[in-house]
Homo-oligomer: A and B are copies of this chain.
Amino acid sequence: MDFEIIKPADIEKRSFAIITEELGDRVFPEEIGLVVKRVIHTSADFDYADNLVFSEGAVPRALEAIRNGAHIVTDTNMVKAGINKKTLAKFGGEVHCFVADADVAEEAKQRGVTRSTVSMERAAKLDVPVIFAIGNAPTALIELDRLMREQDLKPELIIGVPVGFVNVVESKELILQSQAPHIVARGRKGGSNVAAAIVNALLYQLVHREGF
């Protein structure tokens, strides 16, 4: 078996070069391209070159929010596990995920709603600027939409990339039609890995820009 002899630190650079080459004529503004390419890097799925939708100015606004210490709320512990928390901490941010909390499960059961719905309500009470990274639960996006309309929640960014077959496409369309700054994977695809990759793509851009 022939392996390419390459230092661990160079693997990512080489991977991004391959992705750029295979994207061919598909050229993106740099701030967006770095996100798109990291998502392809984490999935080997070039469909994301077509289905990722960025609202106007979403990336620069998110970078500014992170630089000012915004926190990140995820819908699952898997997204939380994938985020580079050390890098986020350099800017003062933390990652929160309420979905596995025992009292969230209890409340969801009593009210007959999903744990994701309850965990978004908890997140809305954080008194810091927040970026939401949703990789699994359409009900999290539905609840965020409600909180924005009814309780004036103003997220710094919604990363809306749940994956799946039931209510997923529709929940993402809600966010696409909202006023919230967003990065959404239109259609069925997405996932924890995609949500974490988008957050990390933002973090690494900021590190690069700030010269950390």
Contact = CB atoms under 8 A, between A and B. Distances in A.
A86 to B, nearest CB: 11
A41 B164 contact: yes
Contacts of A165: 14-15, 18-19, 41, 44
A42 interface: yes
Given A1-B174, A18-B165, A166-B18, A45 B189 contact: yes
Given A43-B191, A142-B3, A166 B78 contact: no
A2 interface: yes
Given A2-B170, A78-B82, A190 B44 contact: yes
A76 B78 CA distance: 11
Interface stretch (A4-12, A87-95, A123-131, A203-211): A4-12
A163 B42 CA distance: 7
Contact of A4 (B82, B166, B191): B166
Interface in A1-37: 1-4, 6, 8, 11, 14-15, 18-19
A173 B1 contact: yes
A4 B170 CA distance: 9
A42 B82 contact: no
Contact of A82 (B114, B142, B163, B192): B192
24 contacts: A1-B170, A2-B170, A3-B142, A3-B167, A3-B170, A4-B166, A8-B139, A11-B164, A11-B167, A14-B165, A19-B165, A41-B164, A41-B165, A43-B43, A43-B163, A43-B191, A44-B163, A44-B189, A45-B45, A45-B189, A78-B82, A78-B193, A81-B81, A82-B192
